[in-house]
């Protein structure tokens, strides 16, 4: 049996149970009964601040999880509200709805007009944005510290009182289609990635692109917006992360006065959609107007949230770093510089996704080399990992980089908040953030070999190749006509 399907089934069951195991008060359990899966592990007990390291955690009676990181270097604050919903929560036919709704969240509430949210934040010197991923939808503001109440009032308002108008939707969905054209349709590599993911994943919702299929966007309507908002936008399905020059207790009180007014609501139970076992290598070709070939190879692997063996994701992360973490890693040394087979080549793995994911290789062959030669070279690197233990100097170098990174990241409030928000929202304990270094340091050469042998095998592999279709040589800057066909 495919170890992957076992792992993800087990992990999903565990995730569904964790919410109930956090020792919540009676008040909470009443609200939570409809939504146990939505509440993450490690949540603070309602009414009590739990402090671990320099992070303070609290849960409001309505279920909102709050994480505060005090950092007094500069008189600024970042506030992020993370909802446990995203593209991987969508169903076929309405893909992209999570992201379109994210756009609609700027279109006003019962008391504010379209864009007024943005105007108020701007008038307070703030910067704002929002983003949608497979596993989350998040909204943020960066402000001078005294302006934090404005952020809380506005976000709490649109958590409960969004005004979804058909005419606003009609315009905004056109904006999103333009975004799709810009980010995907006209970018050959992004387009290749989209086809690649849709091939690698079948039943898993990671099959579908975050921005949605164009056909689904074309057929979306304002009722899709209303349903999505009603289903997922509730305090008991969200995590508030605040980092900056604040006093944690004052922030909790402020949250109580603002977000605290929003009522908890039942949250739908998410179907697991566990991908079925892959039965062999899959290969696709994507033809697109392009000049330079490109390839993606992805192996199905577990992640922290799904792994049955808890060191495996860290061993995979280490493996990704051995191959590609800077100019001294193997890909740079051997494929770009040594053999000169790749113009660029990378290995990557996201260990903090909600569902099983891909360990991805990507690259462009060097001039005079082919995609086949690049694939062979990447495979040879994988084979080497399987047969020869990674040497200690390489591991030490990666560990040094990781340790230093942990210090460097303290220079970015936003990044620190982002890590906490991601972990909490994919159903993990945010404290894993602080355990990352020690867990990675604990990985042995044998473990790196073991995960390579177990997961980087053809049966779990999908390969996508971008095959450039000729494009015209651009006309000289003089306005001459040149034609595409």
Partner 1 sequence: MPINSKNSKSKNMNNKLFFGLLMSSILFFTALIGTTASASPDIEHWRTTNGARVYFVPAPELPIVDIRIIFNAGAARDEDMPGTAILTNGLLAEGAGGLSANQLAEQFESIGARFGNSAQRDMAILSLRTLTERKIFDSAVNTLTTILTQPDFPKTAFERERSRLLTTLKRNKQSPGKQANETFFNALYSKHPYRNQPTGTEAGINGLDTAKLKAFYDKYYVGSNAILAIVGDLSRADAEQLAQTLMGKLPEGEPADDIPPVEALTDSKEIRIDHPSAQTHILVGQPGMKRGDPDYFALYVGNHILGGSGLVARLSNEIREKRGLAYSSYSYFVPMQQNGPFTIGLQTKNESANEALKVLRETIGTFVKEGATAEELEAAKKNITGGFPLRISSNKKIIDYIGMIGFYQLPMDYLDTFNERVQAVTLEDIKTAFQKRVHPEKMITVMVGGDVNSIGKE
- Residue 154's nearest CA partner among 167, 166, 139 is 139
Q: What share of the chain is helix, strand, coil (3-state, %, to 5)?
A: 45, 20, 35
* Catalytic member of 31, 90, 102, 172: 102
Please provide residue 25's backbone torsions phi and psi, each rounded to the nearest 5 degrees.
Answer: -75, 170
Compute the least distance from the CB of residue 328 to partner 1, in Å: 4
Rounded distance between C-alpha atoms, residue 355 and residue 272, angstroms: 9
Q: Pick the piece of the chain touching partner 1 (CB under 8 A) from 5-13, 29-37, 389-397, 454-462.
A: 389-397
Beta bridge partners of 466: 286, 294
- CA–centroid distance for 318 within its chain: 19
Confirm or reject binding of residue 229 to partner 1 (CB under 8 A).
no
Task: Name the phi and psi angles at 212, rounded to 5.
Answer: 90, 155
Number of residues forming the site for partner 1 (CB under 8 A): 113
Q: Is 148 a binder of partner 1 (CB under 8 A)?
A: no
Among 2, 118, 163, 309, binds partner 1 (CB under 8 A): 118
Question: Does 392 sit near partner 1 (CB under 8 A)?
Answer: no
Segment holding 173, helix H or strand E: helix 166-180
| CB 45 within 8 Å of CB 60 | no
Bridge-partner residues for 70, per DSSP?
244
Closer CB to partner 1, 56 or 103, in the complex: 103
Q: Which residues, 13 to 32, sit near partner 1 by CB under 8 A?
A: none
Return the number of the residue (129 or 370) whose C-beta is nearest partner 1.
129
133 binds partner 1 (CB under 8 A): yes
Exposure of 324 by Cβ count < 10 A (0-12 exposed, 13-18 middle, 19+ buried)? buried
CA 485 – CA 474 distance, rounded (Å):
13
Identify the sign of the CA torsion 308, 309, 314, 315: negative
Candidate list 123, 250, 281, 380; residue touching partner 1; CB under 8 A? 123
In angstroms, the first-to-last Cα distance of the chain is 50
Residues 297-336 as x/- pattern, contact with partner 1 by CB under 8 A: -----------------------xx--xxxxx---xx--x
Residues 30-59 that bind partner 1 (CB under 8 A): none
User: Is 287 a residue that touches partner 1 (CB under 8 A)?
Assistant: no
Q: How far is the CB of 291 from partner 1 (least distance, A)?
A: 5
Q: Which parts of 181-241 fold into alpha helices (H)?
A: 188-200, 214-218, 222-232
Three-class DSSP category at 131: strand
Shortest CB 25 distance to partner 1, Å: 34
75 binds partner 1 per the rule CB under 8 A: yes
149 binds partner 1 (CB under 8 A): no
Candidates 15-23, 36-44, 62-70, 138-146 — which segment interacts with partner 1 by CB under 8 A?
Answer: 138-146
SS3 category, 183: helix
Q: Residue 285 interacts with partner 1 (CB under 8 A)?
A: no
CA 193, 198, 202, 206 dihedral sign is: positive
Residue 247 three-state SS: coil
- Our answer to whether residue 102 is catalytic in this structure is yes
**Of 22-30, 60-68, 219-227, 417-425, which segment contacts partner 1 by CB under 8 A?**
417-425
CB nearer to partner 1: give 23 or 125.
125
The residue among 182 and 202 lying less far from partner 1, judged by its C-beta, is: 182
Taking CB under 8 A as the criterion, the residue among 33, 221, 227, 340 binding partner 1 is 340
Applying the rule CB under 8 A, the residues between 438 and 477 that interact with partner 1 are 468, 471-475, 477
Asked if residue 204 binds partner 1 (CB under 8 A), the reply is no
Would you say 8 or 184 has its CB closer to partner 1? 184
Q: Are 205 and 134 in contact (CB under 8 A)?
A: yes
Site stretch for partner 1 (CB under 8 A), options 35-43, 61-69, 415-423, 442-450? 415-423
According to the binding rule CB under 8 A, does residue 247 interact with partner 1? no
Alpha carbon separation from 3 to 8, 307, 328, 478 (Å, rounded): 9, 10, 33, 60
Q: Token pair for residue 400?
A: 């040094």
Contact between 389 and partner 1 by CB under 8 A: the answer reads: no
Sheet holding 357-365, edge to edge: 282-289, 461-469, 294-301, 357-365, 342-349
CA dihedral 183, 187, 190, 192 (to 10 degrees): 150
Sole window of 11-19, 132-140, 305-313, 381-389 interacting with partner 1 (rule: CB under 8 A): 132-140
Rounded Cα gap, residues 254 and 148, in angstroms: 9
Q: Does residue 102 touch partner 1 according to CB under 8 A?
A: yes
Rule CB under 8 A: which of 168-187 touch partner 1?
170-179, 181-183, 185-187
Q: How far is the CB of 165 from partner 1 (least distance, A)?
A: 13
Q: Which stretch binds partner 1 (CB under 8 A): 46-54, 285-293, 381-389, 447-455?
A: 285-293
**Residues with active-site annotation:** 102
């Amino acid at each position: 049996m495919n170890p992957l399907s076992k792992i993800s089934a087990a992990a999903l069951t565990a995730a569904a149970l964790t919410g109930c195991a956090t020792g919540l008060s009676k008040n909470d359990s009443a609200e939570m009964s409809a939504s146990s899966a939505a509440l993450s592990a490690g949540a603070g007990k309602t009414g009590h601040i739990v402090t671990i390291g320099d992070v303070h955690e609290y849960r409001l009676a309505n279920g909102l999880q709050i994480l505060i990181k005090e950092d007094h270097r500069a008189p600024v604050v970042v506030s992020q509200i993370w909802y446990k919903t995203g593209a991987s929560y969508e169903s076929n036919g309405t893909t992209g709805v999570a992201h379109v709704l994210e756009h609609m969240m700027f279109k006003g509430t019962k008391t504010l007009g379209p864009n007024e949210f943005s105007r108020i934040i701007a008038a307070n010197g703030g910067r704002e944005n929002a983003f949608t991923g497979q596993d989350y939808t998040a909204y943020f503001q960066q402000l001078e510290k005294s302006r934090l109440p404005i952020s809380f009032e506005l976000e709490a308002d649109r958590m409960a009182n969004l005004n979804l108008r058909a005419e606003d939707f009609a315009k905004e969905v056109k904006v999103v289609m333009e975004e799709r054209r810009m980010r995907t349709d006209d970018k050959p590599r992004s387009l290749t990635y989209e086809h690649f993911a849709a091939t690698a994943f079948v039943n898993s919702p990671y099959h579908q692109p975050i921005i949605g299929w164009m056909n689904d966007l074309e057929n979306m309507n304002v009722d899709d917006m209303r349903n999505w908002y009603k289903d997922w936008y509730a305090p008991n399905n969200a995590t508030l992360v605040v980092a900056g020059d604040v006093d944690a207790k004052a922030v909790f009180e402020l949250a109580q006065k603002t977000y605290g007014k929003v009522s908890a609501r039942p949250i739908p139970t998410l179907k697991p959609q566990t991908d079925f076992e892959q039965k062999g290598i899959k290969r696709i070709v994507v033809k697109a107007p392009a000049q330079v070939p490109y390839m993606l190879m992805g192996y199905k692997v577990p992640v922290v949230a799904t792994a049955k063996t808890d060191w495996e994701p860290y061993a995979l992360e280490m493996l990704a770093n051995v191959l590609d973490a800077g100019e001294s890693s193997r890909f740079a040394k051997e494929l770009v510089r040594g053999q000169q087979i790749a113009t660029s080549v990378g290995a990557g793995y996201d260990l903090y996704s909600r569902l099983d994911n891909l360990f991805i290789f990507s690259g462009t062959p060097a001039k005079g080399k082919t995609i086949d030669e690049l694939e062979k070279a990447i495979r040879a690197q994988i084979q080497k990992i399987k047969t020869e233990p990674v040497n200690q100097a390489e591991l030490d170098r990666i560990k040094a980089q990781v340790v230093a990174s942990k210090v460097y990241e303290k220079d970015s409030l936003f990044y620190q908040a982002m890590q906490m928000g991601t972990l909490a929202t994919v159903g993990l304990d945010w404290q894993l953030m602080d355990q990352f270094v020690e867990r990675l340091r604990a990985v042995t050469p044998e473990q790196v070999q073991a995960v390579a042998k177990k997961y980087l095998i053809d049966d779990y592999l999908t390969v996508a190749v971008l095959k450039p279709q000729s494009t015209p040589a651009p006309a000289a800057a003089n306005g001459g006509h040149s034609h595409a066909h």
